Structure 1
């Protein structure tokens, strides 16, 4: 696509970012949160500032393959000036660094100094809308980056570290100091263009990503191909009818795969004053659509149909050629609908719990030759699926994921490793007073590898960093670091060896 046409399409999506500014009114979310006595609310509290480099207490020894840095990020700045956001996804991002070397683990946490956060700290109050919150007296956004909280994931990219959000620019971070360096501009005409929080890195180092924009007549799906050294190779925008909320995607050797749940943007709701989240409408009659795009030629696209459902995260996808055409196998964490986005993830902001839907590990098969798609759902709760990074886009067997939904707690209580071919799974439960965060797989040559991740022990009000042998997960951690304090619950991360 010509750059001029790309800019024209993007400009058509921007007006719907700006409903009318709200008048000041009373808001009691902060008071309700402070009055609550539930012990897990610390996971949704706001650290007053950056967290200095601190040494953890370590039990056991972290394996040599885990020597390096675990980077994690998530919403942390939830309240300012006596007002509290109404959705977990809105908080200003805080980036965490765990430096691991045998029996030594050190932690540092720093807020990402986005233009939004800097301006609001200076003013002592919220100035702009957020994804799921429109607080009293805020101004309408002037661009997608007016809302950019840089709070969802990270991408280590050679000499750069990028903090990622859902709907705006990536933010450059100094990996040595965690200083914020400013927005990442891939090309002058792409400044401010959405760059999603779940890029995929092929085994050869090529990075693929997407971004979403919604206009009055069409939805816009931006596609990126980035060379291993961080140079942009290609970017284009393609129109997609009834473009929904898409958080994640998958790659195979030859294709990009997007599962499109029927949570669709409605511009009229946005114009009437709804938040970006509340401008989305559940339309199950659309079903779950699977959009498959050829990596080499983005004009070659195919749409397949699956039963209606919702997802945040994809594990992995791989393809095989058969006499009836190419088949793509893809696993993801599926719920029947999107209710938790509108209820559960809001209510935790006032320390209330709404019963969760139970996402289940599901495996879809897309036959590009026949145009038919089928789906199998395993009787296994699953979220935050991660695989061996060496197998991205290739055939894999094991997925590491959070599991064990508790009706009396937000989130999950255990980490699991599941064979998606036979359904066999092993898990480790952190106990009755812990909330599990995302765990990642760490390769170790030809050995089974390791599972590394964090959990919030709200009984002791501390955050744990644990390492498990991947093939003996149920045996418990081989090493565990305990911080003297609790971190805000976060979203995603990445491991950098060495």
Structure 2
């Protein structure tokens, strides 16, 4: 093994960072413009194109971006909400997809809208508030866009905006020591009140770390330790955060590895942090002249690099090379006695999902891209690797029982398309047995779009997989104004039986990204 020196964080090098990345989906579609052509169509009326498409296809309502702040004391409940299930389910995502009358050009660009579903006593309440970021407050005061975004840039705006000036805080949430953090990829976390969702301001972990990127996919060990990362763009310097269960910063340091490109997620084993670094990296010649997304170039002949970092020393201890591939999300990772690391990851052969599919949906178009599939990746100590696809087609948003993070898990939960291929986007909830390969699944009726489900352990139980899956669904009506969003609860051991309980609003919510449950 090669061990290398760990370098401390340097805030000054991070202030030139650009925007970060986020999430997923996938549907069939027609050929489209090259990314550079899309970035150059400043005069095109994306809002009019989207509205016309929405009138034909109500399933696009989740990308309209007309999220509103509201409170609902009692959602319309059905089924039996378990008495022992008490707490709050939070989800984050882009709530508004326009600013100053201009529509964003990528799903990842809109301002963060955090949703809170309060659960207890058989009742479900709902609250939504926008994160009062620097960006949102400044643009509201100006009545116009002041900065570009991950996949959008308009004429007349500067490039090279400092990351926290363009931070929409729109990707995920982290309940931590009685607080709630709203997370983005390339800038500060925002502190929110977990009950009211009022924004308290940017989280400053330590004065010299103000503005350091704290990414949107932290991993929490079973003992409550939180691990996260941040990337400095365009240099690709990679930083690791360690935060205690009490919410106090334990460490932030640069590791001896660089990745000047998109990095959305990481995994942890009991001893290591694992990164998969895709060959989708920044072209220095384009940096500072196009949106962050369009500065990237796919390199099909370059490897997907796997890097293992020792949790104690933050030294890189192993590296592997795999065939080119791209993905957003890990389910879990674990390590065997001989040092072999295995992980499940949503792997696609290229980056078409992020640079085509999730961009064109903002114009109401559906663009073909190679779908990510649940894939088991094996990394041997001697450098050998193996890649084994587990799902036949599109699969995303993998989750495990949080008590199994970093340990060998048997149950993996994720979303897929309906088994008959009908219905918009992701419509099936799946439990996959990682030992036998057996699958238990529930296919929502056509017209239901499922969002990421989170696992909630049953109080008092220690058995893996004993608990519930909880997440939101968008029911698409015959017309967009007849759609609505609901919260669905499944017994995680019997998904095929369908939801055991649901709670419905009277209107649709914008589709979001990631969520978390905080027990009462």
Tell me if structure 1 keeps the 8 A contact 2:451–2:511.
Answer: yes
Unaligned runs of 5+ in 2: 1-5, 21-38
State the partner residue of 1:352.
365
Q: 1:23 offset after TM fit, Å?
A: 11
Q: Structure 1 CA distance, aligned partners of 2:142 and 2:76?
A: 39
1:56 to 67, 75, 84: 75
Which moves more between the two structures, 352-361 or 276-285? 352-361
Which moves more between the two structures, 388-397 or 136-145? 136-145
Unaligned runs of 5+ in 1: none
- Change beyond 3 A, Cα 1:221–1:242: closer
State the partner residue of 2:487.
465
Which moves more between the two structures, 181-190 or 421-430? 421-430
Task: Please list the CA deviations of residues 336-371 of structure 1 after superposition, one character each: whole Å capped at 9, or x if unmatched.
Answer: 111011111011112221234322110111112x12
- Change beyond 3 A, Cα 1:158–1:352: same
Q: Structure 2 CA distance, aligned partners of 1:486 and 1:393?
A: 36
- Change beyond 3 A, Cα 1:66–1:331: same
- Change beyond 3 A, Cα 1:2–1:284: closer
Q: 1:302 offset after TM fit, Å?
A: 1.8
1:34-433 pair list within 5 angstroms: 34-36=51-53, 37=55, 38-47=57-66, 49-215=68-234, 218-271=235-288, 273-322=289-338, 326-368=339-381, 370-380=382-392, 381-404=394-417, 411-433=425-447
Q: 1:421 offset after TM fit, Å?
A: 2.4
Q: Structure 1 CA distance, aligned partners of 2:303 and 2:398?
A: 23
Tell me if structure 2 keeps the 8 A contact 1:99–1:105.
Answer: yes
Task: Please list the CA deviations of residues 291-327 of structure 1 after superposition, one character each: whole Å capped at 9, or x if unmatched.
Answer: 10000111243211112111100000011112xxx01
- Three-state SS of the structure 2 residue aligned to 1:477 is coil
Superposition TM-score, scaled by structure 1 size = 0.93
2:501 to 463, 479, 486: 479
Tell me if structure 2 keeps the 8 A contact 1:78–1:92.
Answer: yes
Tell me if structure 2 keeps the 8 A contact 1:93–1:111.
Answer: yes
Higher strand share: 1
- Three-state SS of the structure 2 residue aligned to 1:375 is strand
Tell me if structure 1 keeps the 8 A contact 2:325–2:347.
Answer: yes
Q: 1:384 offset after TM fit, Å?
A: 0.4
Q: 1:484 offset after TM fit, Å?
A: 0.9
- Change beyond 3 A, Cα 1:23–1:335: closer
Task: Please list the CA deviations of residues 361-389 of structure 1 after superposition, one character each: whole Å capped at 9, or x if unmatched.
Answer: 10111112x12221111134320001101
Tell me if structure 2 keeps the 8 A contact 1:127–1:137.
Answer: no
Tell me if structure 2 keeps the 8 A contact 1:441–1:452.
Answer: yes
Matched residue count = 485
Superposition TM-score, scaled by structure 2 size = 0.89
Q: 1:92 offset after TM fit, Å?
A: 0.4
Runs of at least 4 residues of structure 1 off by over 4 A? 13-17, 22-25, 405-410
- Three-state SS of the structure 1 residue aligned to 2:128 is strand
Q: Structure 2 CA distance, aligned partners of 1:140 and 1:454?
A: 36
- Three-state SS of the structure 1 residue aligned to 2:386 is strand
State the partner residue of 1:7.
11
Q: Which has the higher contact order (CA 8 A, sep 6+)?
A: 2
